[in-house]
Structure 1
Amino acid sequence: MARNRTTCKATPDRVFAVLADPRAYAYFVAGTRTIRRFDPRWPEPGSVFHHSLGLGVTLIRDKTVAVETEPPRRLVVRPSMMPLAINETIFRLRPHGQVTLVEIEEYLVAGPASHRLVAPVVDRLLWLRNHVLLRRLRKVVEARQRQLRP
């Protein structure tokens, strides 16, 4: 399991609005190259967006499924990166004064990366990736926040 947190200078509604926009994931999820298509119902439970991810010449085409949605406090998604892994990712948003505390937890749930011998290494890599993810998410949220100001 990997757990990371950050703060965003925006309300939980504004942060959740970015999480509710499947096109935005290409900007804040490290390794995502494109969002190929998405269900307009995203992030309703059961809705899906299809993505391509990878580094260098490696490319994985897979999907992310919304599992649970509690706007603007919580979003649970299940990103697939098969044949490597299927994860469960939980975003939690809490107001904290003038900012929003954003926490992400990610668990390996299936695939070879979840094997007990490699899972500790993969968890550390997820932590590093999610550190970058939250930094990028904060930039996207705060850029949108600035666009809304008169």
Structure 2
Amino acid sequence: MTTEPEEIDSTPVVARDTPASRHDVWAVIADGWTYSQWVVGNSRMRAVDADWPQPGTSIHHSVGVWPLLLNDSTVVESCTPERELVLIANGRPFGKARITLRLRDLDGGGCRIEMAEIPVSPPLNWLPKQLALTAAFPRNRETTWRLAAMAERRTHDDR
């Protein structure tokens, strides 16, 4: 059983409903090479650990727009397949953030994607948690939209 990060139970948490199943959404998440396609701000993938998304594994990506790119990495803190993924993302020079993605079945099919992100190291963790959640909300709203769209295409392509 995973420990529930408190930020996912705080507000505002981005919630996106999709007709795609938890399985289809998880398939996108579990393919680390797709990370730069659905996570806002990531421009390219450089490497994905073979056991991604097992706890302790990493993806290595670049953030920004060429020629202003920073090479960064994101590490899995905890993982419950098809249910929850908790990541620690490096966000140089702003510090690290904990990102929680949770998937829930919807009555009648499909799933809800929930996402929260809070800074966990200086300097941004000096902000009040509510302010940090609010600041990340627009980025996470777009990220969950992209994730849902990719899962829906996967579902549609499988028909």
| Fold equivalence (TM over 0.5) | yes
Q: Is the 8 A contact 1:33 1:53 kept in 2?
A: yes
In the other structure, the counterpart of 1:141 is 151
1:132 aligns with 2:126: no
Tell me the SS of whatever aligns to 1:110.
Answer: coil
Q: Is the 8 A contact 1:82 1:111 kept in 2?
A: no
The 1:117–1:58 alpha-carbon spacing in structure 2 relative to 1, beyond 3 Å, is farther
1:51 aligns with 2:61: yes
Per-residue deviation, 1:117: 7.3
Per-residue deviation, 1:124: 2.9
Distance 1:31 1:67 in 2: 21
Structure 1: 5+ residue stretches without partners: none
Q: Residues 15-26 of structure 1: matches in 2 within 5 Å?
A: 15-26=25-36
- 1:70-129 superposed Cα distances (whole Å, 9 cap, x missing partner): 111111111111221201111111110211011011111013122237982x54331110
If each structure's strand is expressed as a fraction of its own residues, which one has the higher value?
A: 1
Among 94, 110, 115, the residue aligned to 1:84: 94
Distance 2:128 2:104 in 1: 35
Structure 2: 5+ residue stretches without partners: 1-6
The 1:80–1:9 alpha-carbon spacing in structure 2 relative to 1, beyond 3 Å, is same
Q: How many residues align?
A: 148
The 1:147–1:108 alpha-carbon spacing in structure 2 relative to 1, beyond 3 Å, is same
Q: Residues 6-17 of structure 1: matches in 2 within 5 Å?
A: 6-17=16-27
